[in-house]
Copies of this chain bind each other. A is one copy, B any other.
Amino acid sequence: MNQNYPLLNTITSPRDVKKLSFEDLDRLAQEIRQFMIQTISQTGGHLASNLGVVELTIALHRVFDLPQDQIVWDVGHQCYTHKILTGRKNQFTTIRQEGGISGFPRPQESVYDAFIGGHSSISISAAEGLAQAKKMQGDDHFVIAVIGDGALTGGEAYEALNNAARANAKLIVILNDNRMSISKNVGGVSKYLTLIRSRPGYLKLKHGVEITLDHTPLVGAKIKKGLIQSKSALKQVIYHSTLFEDFGLVYTGPVDGHNIKALCTMLERAKHMDSPVLIHAETVKGKGYLFAEEAPTQFHGIAQFDVDTGSTSKGTNHNFSSEFGQAIVQMAQKDKKICAVTAAMTEGCGLTQFASTFPKRLFDVGIAEQHALTFSAAMAANGMRPVFAVYSTFLQRAYDQIIHDAAIDNRHIVLAIDRAGIVGDDGETHQGVFDTAFLSAIPNTKMYSPCLFDELPMALNKAMYTDTGVVAVRYPRGGQPNLPQKLQTATTSYAYTGKTGKILLITYGRLFGEAVKASTLLGENGLQADLLRLVQIHPLLDDCVNIALQYDTIVFAEEGVARGGIGEHFLYELYSKGFRGQFALRAIPDAFVAQGTYKNVLKRLGLDALSIAQAATGDATWKKLD
């Protein structure tokens, strides 16, 4: 810390927040804002959402006593101010780095992080569980869920709202309404929030009308007939006039989410109500940093940027997302039946161009992966060709729908699975390492894992026009590995270097880059290792199994979970066909994968070239000679 942050320097725990005057708190907010902008400009991270909740976070820490009171952040990447105020200020520069603090709430990291929050729309459920447990143990502290209006497009939030009133626990829901998911928010509820936001009189009116009715014994005859006879019914109309009240919560707001004093007043009032309360706070995503306010989507999750100019270092490099975006636009130009579905990830999944070219064929359904899947399957049932573009980790939300709504009736949908494999900075909650296991266990599914850019449109094309059922094309964050020219022949089945030795390295996707290096490493030491690269990874191709049968030693390496993954299936097929040689599986072991650079994570997991080479020699200490 330094002299730019005189007030922030004095904050070592949430208690220190309580000592400051409202004037000082406003200044503290500005210091935190500057501190975050400076730090994130160096480290990268989620900026816009965090700039939007500085005052809200300060107000919460002023009114409530953490960690006895608990806050659940939804989505969790808005927790930076919370981390700064709860003893992690000095570690803040390590955010999202290997060994550093997480960019999401992480209970293992701090007692102030009550619950995880990497995936959306869980906060009310979690808060109810935390609050219910407190209640049953005679602890009368509060649990607060802070949920964005974007997260309110996810179904679990409503499952929880439906249960909120019954809980009768010390539960406060804060709707952080910034009119955005990662991109502009969508749907009926979003419109509805606009309505109640845009009419300050709308809610005050309820009170006014009620008082008026109570104090009006005699009114004009027409009114008398229309209103007074139904006074109690009208009261119902009036009282139950917000969505949240329909679910049984007390609604209060909207309140300016950047006015600490007003927030504190409202929070204090909420503490004294009998039943669960929803506070509607209006915030501005990117607040206080003009570039982020103007382009919150660009400043959602960003790499390094220049504070003065707002220019981000995010290159315009090719990556698989952009390759997908380009390919699907080209396909859609020739085929009117192609539609794209996204769960609030138009930009992240590379669909920006599709959205502008075919606005009526792009369905951004909000953070609603379940709906996205069923909706896609139903579009397919009536003859369209939907592709659902989704991050691997978020597709987990639609697991049941893949089985039930798509696979059982063999609905032909294409899943464009982005961020498959190791994701780097986001850590445990965002690794795309389960899709290989969960999809391959489902009948009527097929999976491709391109390694080369050129393979992505080829696989998409095959998925769309040759295959049936649920067809997934999975590709990683970032680009293709650097490969020797001779290994750059694109295919949708497999690529094999031919039989020259007794060792075979099998892999798929981006990890092929490491396999090639491992082969070189082994070759330099007189061990000839051939390469088999799968593109169709499920179902396994007989040709691939037959190739592998010719070898004494096989190393199967994959960027996915070992248990239930492609390697295990491969071993089973091999074994059934009589293979009895050495088989080493290098995959993600039975543990969650923490944040770090791709390179470091590979090393940690034993998936880097040296580890693969060691697996081939059967010697974990083997190293390149010289």
Whether the Cβ atoms of A107 and B381 lie closer than 8 Å is: yes
Bound-state CA distance A161–B230 (Å) is: 30
Contacts of A122 in B (CB 8 A): 370, 374, 401, 404-405
Whether the Cβ atoms of B404 and A429 lie closer than 8 Å is: yes
Decide if A534 is an interface residue (CB 8 Å cutoff): no
- Residue of chain B at shortest CB distance from A400: B396
CB distance from A487 to the nearest CB of B (A): 29
Whether the Cβ atoms of A374 and B126 lie closer than 8 Å is: yes
Contacts of A129 in B (CB 8 A): 374-382, 386
Decide if A261 is an interface residue (CB 8 Å cutoff): no
- Residue of chain B at shortest CB distance from A129: B378
Contacts of A134 in B (CB 8 A): 382
| Interface 1/0 per residue, A147-167 and B, CB below 8 Å | 000000111111111111110
Contact of A443 among B368, B380, B442, B591 (CB under 8 A): B591
Whether the Cβ atoms of A157 and B155 lie closer than 8 Å is: yes
Contacts of A192 in B (CB 8 A): 240, 246-248
Give the residue among A108, A205, A376, A571 with the most B Cβ atoms within 10 A. Answer: A205
Decide if A403 is an interface residue (CB 8 Å cutoff): yes
Contact A201 B223, CB 8 Å, known A381-B130, A568-B569: no
**Residues 26-50 of A contacting B (Cβ, < 8 Å):** none
Bound-state CA distance A227–B223 (Å) is: 11
Segment from A111-119, A292-300, A544-552, A597-605 that makes contact with B: A111-119
Decide if A10 is an interface residue (CB 8 Å cutoff): no
Contact A208 B189, CB 8 Å, known A133-B383, A374-B129, A382-B130: no
CB distance from A104 to the nearest CB of B (A): 10
Contacts of A236 in B (CB 8 A): 195, 199, 202
Whether the Cβ atoms of A223 and B234 lie closer than 8 Å is: no
- Residue of chain B at shortest CB distance from A584: B576
Contacts of A233 in B (CB 8 A): 199, 201-202, 205
Whether the Cβ atoms of B125 and A370 lie closer than 8 Å is: yes
Q: Identify whether the interface residues of A are mostly helix, strand, loop, or mixed.
A: helix
Whether the Cβ atoms of B234 and A205 lie closer than 8 Å is: yes
Whether the Cβ atoms of B195 and A166 lie closer than 8 Å is: no
**Residues 118-153 of A contacting B (Cβ, < 8 Å):** 118-119, 121-122, 125-130, 132-134, 136-137, 153
| Interface 1/0 per residue, A460-486 and B, CB below 8 Å | 000000000000000000000000000
Contacts of A137 in B (CB 8 A): 382-384
Bound-state CA distance A538–B189 (Å) is: 43
Decide if A21 is an interface residue (CB 8 Å cutoff): no
Decide if A408 is an interface residue (CB 8 Å cutoff): yes
CB distance from A151 to the nearest CB of B (A): 12
Segment from A83-91, A433-441, A515-523 that makes contact with B: A433-441
Contact A379 B163, CB 8 Å, known A192-B248, A404-B116: no
Segment from A212-220, A309-317, A496-504 that makes contact with B: A212-220
- Residue of chain B at shortest CB distance from A212: B226
Whether the Cβ atoms of B163 and A187 lie closer than 8 Å is: yes
Decide if A5 is an interface residue (CB 8 Å cutoff): no
Bound-state CA distance A166–B441 (Å) is: 35
Contacts of A154 in B (CB 8 A): 155, 159
- Residue of chain B at shortest CB distance from A70: B382
- Residue of chain B at shortest CB distance from A211: B226
Contacts of A437 in B (CB 8 A): 437-438, 441, 564
| Interface 1/0 per residue, A389-405 and B, CB below 8 Å | 00000101101110111
Bound-state CA distance A170–B213 (Å) is: 41
Decide if A513 is an interface residue (CB 8 Å cutoff): no
CB distance from A566 to the nearest CB of B (A): 10
Decide if A263 is an interface residue (CB 8 Å cutoff): no
- Residue of chain B at shortest CB distance from A208: B226
CB distance from A614 to the nearest CB of B (A): 16
- Residue of chain B at shortest CB distance from A397: B400
Whether the Cβ atoms of A164 and B188 lie closer than 8 Å is: yes
Whether the Cβ atoms of B163 and A205 lie closer than 8 Å is: no
Contact A572 B571, CB 8 Å, known A236-B195, A404-B116, A408-B592: yes
Contacts of A136 in B (CB 8 A): 336, 339, 360-361, 384
Decide if A524 is an interface residue (CB 8 Å cutoff): no
Contacts of A384 in B (CB 8 A): 132-133, 136-137
Contacts of A243 in B (CB 8 A): 243, 246-247
CB distance from A184 to the nearest CB of B (A): 13
- Residue of chain B at shortest CB distance from A433: B441
Whether the Cβ atoms of A163 and B366 lie closer than 8 Å is: yes
Contacts of A396 in B (CB 8 A): 399-400, 403-404
Whether the Cβ atoms of B374 and A156 lie closer than 8 Å is: yes
Contacts of A443 in B (CB 8 A): 590-592
Chosen A-B contacts, 14 in total, with CB atoms closer than 8 Å, are A129-B380, A130-B382, A155-B157, A162-B186, A188-B249, A205-B233, A206-B237, A208-B230, A219-B220, A219-B222, A397-B399, A399-B400, A437-B438, A443-B590
Please provide the 7 A-B residue pairs with the shortest distance between their CB atoms, ordered closest to farther: A155-B155, A129-B378, A212-B226, A564-B564, A133-B382, A188-B248, A159-B368
